[in-house]
Every structure is written in C-alpha cells, then in structure tokens.
C-alpha cells in the first residue's frame, strides 16, 4: 500500500508540491505570529527586569519607560534636582541614579548617568575600567567601540556636533541583553556642563531652561537675567566692579556656552543637592514594600510621576495581545481557505480517478484498501505541509527576532512550548478528518458504475 501511495504521488508530483506549499504557508503564518508575539513579551520583560522604579515629571508613563529602559528618543520634561537629592537621602532607597539623554554618536545614544547605576545593572567590564573624569565614557557591549576610542556626540540623531567635546572610551561593558548594550554611558555631570546646566540651579530654573530635548539646539532660556550667555557678556563687558582678566573671561564664556572639562574628576560621593533637572531617575528600592510606598508618595506629588516599568509593559502586552488575536484570526482564516481549496481539489481529483478506482475494485482490491490509499495520500500531503510550515514559522520568527534585536539591543527568545505542539497536533487531526471525506467517497464508489463512467 505504501509503495502504491508513493508511486501515485510521484506521478502527480507538481500538484503534490503545490498542495504541500499551500499548507506550509498557512501553517507557517500561524506559528510565526504566535512565536513572535511571545518572544517580544519575554524579551522586553527581561530587558526591564533591572529597572524596578522610574521617576520623572508628569506626562506619558509609556513614553517615560520607553525612553529610559528602551532608550527610545523623545523630549521629556525635567524632574527637579531636589527630587534626586531627596531620593538619595531617603532610607527606603538603596540607590537612585539620574539619566540624561538627547545626544548621539552615529545613531548610538549617549546616556548621561552614574557609575553606580552601571555597576548595579551590568555584570561587569569586558574590557577596561569605569569612567573617572568628565571626559571619559563607557561603551555598551554592542556599540563596536573599545577602550582608547574617542567620540564626538551630536545634539539629536541628526543634530549638530558638540564642538570641542570629545569623550574617550575607558571601558566596554559585558553584555546585559538590554537596549543599553547599544548605548554609550558618560558621567551625568558632563551632560549638564555640555548643555549649559551647571549644578546649582534650583527646580524653577531648570523648568525655565527646559529639558534636554534632542530636537532643539540646547536648553531653552527664559529671561536675560537667567541666561548664562547674557550674564557672561555682562561680566566680560564690566559691571562697575572692575575688569576681568583674559583667563577669567574665558572661564565665564565657557560657563555661558556649556563648558566641558574632560579632566575634571568625578565626586566620590554625590548627594545631588543643588543638582539640575533630569529627564528621569532610576530607583532601586530597599525592599518590595518600599517600592510601593515610593511609587505612592511620588505619584501623589504634582510635579513627579513614578512607575513600575513591568506594570507599564503589562498594559502594552494587553495591546499587543489584541493585535496578536487579530493576526491569529487572519492566520486561521487563511488556513480555513486553504483547507476548503484543498478539499475541492481533492474531490475533483477523486472524481477524475473514478476509472482507476473502479479497475482496482474489479481486480479484487477491498473497499478498505481504497479508503486507506486515498486517505493516506491526502493526509501525507497535509502532514508534510504542516511539518514544513512549523520549520518555516520558527525560522521566520527567529529571523524577525534577530532583526529586532539588532536594532533594539535586547534578545527576543523564540521557543516552542507544549501548547504550540498541541495546536499543531489539533491541526493534524483536522487534516486527517478532512482527508477522510474524499476517501469515504472513493470507498462508497461502486466498481461497475465507475468502469462504465
């Protein structure tokens, strides 16, 4: 019987290949949608694991998480430096680190932060050491940079270069499997200096000067008396208290335009009192209970917002789940259309083989053998298509995950689960059931009538 089925399939090779291809495409669509949606959920959740609580100014919770955890560029309002100082002194906080962004190097984000945050969230250094001065930087594992390289950041992805600003890479981090693997970390103090936000401004002044907006030329200024450049010009021209020498004038002009002191050492202990505003603050609570208390406290304030990244992602997953259901429905509809088309094709094929089936019956072939032959051919084609569809779906999901990981910097694990295999088993059962209909028609076909037809 098996040899007969194989010989019959070989005789109609072209048609068999078309049937297998149609089934494979329909099955691959469903498999790829399921695996890719799960990979995106798992990968993003793992990337956010290291960041327990994020505090920023009131606005979009989703954008705050996307900007701080996944480093998606956006203009965020600043949260005052007094909040950073209060978090540093709060016994419920294990550590709190500011995050400043808006600069890039050939498309790679340049993030201002602290050595504490890097050491707490990264497994260690693959090469070199941590930055120790304002002109040093640490590269993520996937930036392609190594200790000794130098970079000049630009304001925004397509903005102007920061003149006379060069960071020297002193270390490269081991992989963290987060988007920060594709970032360059620099001291937050240097970001403040480059953008003309020297420490000592209060919250009101920070709001007047604006956020580190990647789409603007620099911090916005309010009035002339708050404008460092105007103040510098006023002092250089003289204010009745005597003229400044050239060195003092140069220092004042540097402060006005956002000075950069690459050799300035970083403070060993930073209390953040008098610090400028920052787009976000990453917080490590001392305990789980402290995490909920801190979120409640900073949500209750009018000028702050506190979120759990995992909680925000849950909302995104709900939206993603709705999209997956739509795509799954599309895949199911495609599979149903393929099943109907194949059923019509096989019924036509059985009708065209009436004489052959009648001849086999006349030669003594039992009805059961006829049923098994027709059913075996159709089920073999469907099973081959489903198997190929499984492989094609897994391959498509892995290729798409690799492309997303290459762009976003975090891994998207593609894995098959018992539920996926159960779904494929159900699909095989349906294929077996559909294959039985043409086989039943062949089984019921009278031999004499078939030979006369």
CA–CA distances in Å: residue 256 to residues 64, 74, 78, 203, 442: 30, 26, 20, 19, 91
Per the model's pLDDT, the better-predicted residue between 91 and 232 turns out to be 91
Q: How many CA atoms lie within 13 A of 51 on its CB side?
A: 34
What pLDDT is attached to residue 374?
A: 75
Percent over 70 (pLDDT), the chain: 72
Q: pLDDT at residue 66 above 70?
A: yes
What pLDDT is attached to residue 254?
A: 43
pTM of model > 0.85: no
Q: Where do the structural domains in the chain lie, given as residue ranges? A: 2-45+315-452, 53-226+258-307
What pLDDT is attached to residue 381?
A: 84
Mean pLDDT throughout 254-268? 66
Residues 185-227: tens digit of each pLDDT: 999 998 888 877 765 444 333 343 334 444 444 433 333 334 4
- Report the alpha-carbon distance of residue 13 to residue 377 in Å, rounded: 12
Cβ-proximal residues to 304 (8 Å cutoff; 6+ apart), any chain: 55, 56, 57, 58, 79, 83, 298
333: left (phi over 0), alpha (psi -120 to 50) or beta: alpha
Mean pLDDT throughout 337-346? 74
CA–CA distances in Å: residue 3 to residues 170, 360, 376: 69, 15, 11
Tell me how far apart the terminal alpha carbons of the chain are, to the nearest angstrom. 25
- Report the alpha-carbon distance of residue 55 to residue 97 in Å, rounded: 10
- Under DSSP, the state recorded for 212 is -
Residue 445: band (very low, low, confident or very high) from pLDDT cuts 50, 70, 90? low
Residue 87: band (very low, low, confident or very high) from pLDDT cuts 50, 70, 90? very high
- SS3 annotation, 377-423: HHHHHHHHHHHHHHHHHHHHHHHHHHHHHHHHCCCCCCCCCHHHHHH
Residues 122-165: tens digit of each pLDDT: 988 999 999 999 999 999 998 989 999 999 888 766 666 677 88
């Amino acid at each position: 019987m098996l040899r007969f089925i194989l010989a019959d399939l070989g005789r109609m090779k072209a048609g068999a290949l078309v049937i297998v291809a149609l089934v494979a495409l329909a099955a691959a669509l469903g498999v790829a949608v399921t695996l890719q949606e799960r990979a995106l959920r798992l990968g993003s959740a793992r990337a956010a694991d290291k960041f327990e609580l994020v505090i920023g100014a009131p606005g979009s919770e989703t954008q705050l998480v996307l900007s701080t955890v996944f480093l998606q560029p956006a203009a965020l309002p600043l949260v005052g430096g007094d909040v950073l100082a209060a978090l540093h002194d709060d016994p419920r906080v294990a550590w709190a680190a500011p995050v400043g962004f808006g600069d890039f190097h050939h498309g790679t984000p340049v993030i201002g932060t602290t050595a504490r945050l890097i050491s707490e969230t990264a497994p260690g250094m693959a090469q070199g050491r941590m930055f120790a001065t304002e002109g040093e930087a640490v590269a993520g594992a996937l930036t392609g940079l190594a200790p000794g390289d130098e970079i000049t950041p630009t304001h925004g992805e397509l903005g102007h270069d920061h003149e006379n600003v060069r960071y020297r890479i002193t270390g490269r981090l081991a992989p963290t499997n987060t988007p920060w693997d594709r970032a360059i970390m620099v001291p937050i103090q240097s970001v403040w200096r480059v953008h003309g936000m020297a420490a000592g401004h209060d919250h009101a002044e920070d709001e007047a000067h604006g956020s580190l907006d990647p789409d603007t030329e620099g911090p916005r200024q309010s009035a002339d008396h708050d404008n460092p450049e105007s103040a510098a010009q006023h002092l250089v021209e003289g204010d009745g208290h005597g003229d400044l020498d050239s060195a003092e004038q140069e220092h004042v002009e540097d402060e006005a335009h956002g000075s950069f002191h690459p050799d300035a050492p970083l403070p060993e202990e930073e209390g953040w009192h008098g610090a400028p505003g920052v787009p976000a603050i990453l917080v490590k609570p001392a305990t789980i209970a402290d995490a909920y208390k801190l979120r409640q406290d900073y949500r209750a304030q009018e000028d702050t917002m506190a979120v759990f990244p995992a909680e925000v992602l849950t909302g995104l997953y709900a939206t993603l789940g709705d999209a997956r259901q739509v795509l799954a429905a599309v895949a199911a509809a495609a599979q149903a259309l393929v099943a109907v088309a194949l059923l019509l094709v096989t019924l036509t094929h059985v009708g065209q083989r009436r004489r052959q089936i009648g001849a086999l019956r006349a030669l003594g072939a039992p009805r059961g053998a006829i049923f098994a032959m027709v059913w075996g051919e159709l089920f073999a084609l469907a099973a081959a298509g489903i198997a190929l569809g499984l492989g094609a779906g897994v391959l498509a999901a892995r290729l798409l995950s690799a492309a997303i990981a290459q762009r976003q910097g975090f891994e998207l694990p593609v894995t098959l689960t018992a539920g996926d295999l159960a779904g494929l088993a159900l699909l095989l059962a349906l294929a077996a059931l559909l294959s039985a209909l043409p086989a039943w028609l062949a089984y019921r076909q009278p031999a004499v009538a078939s030979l006369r037809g």
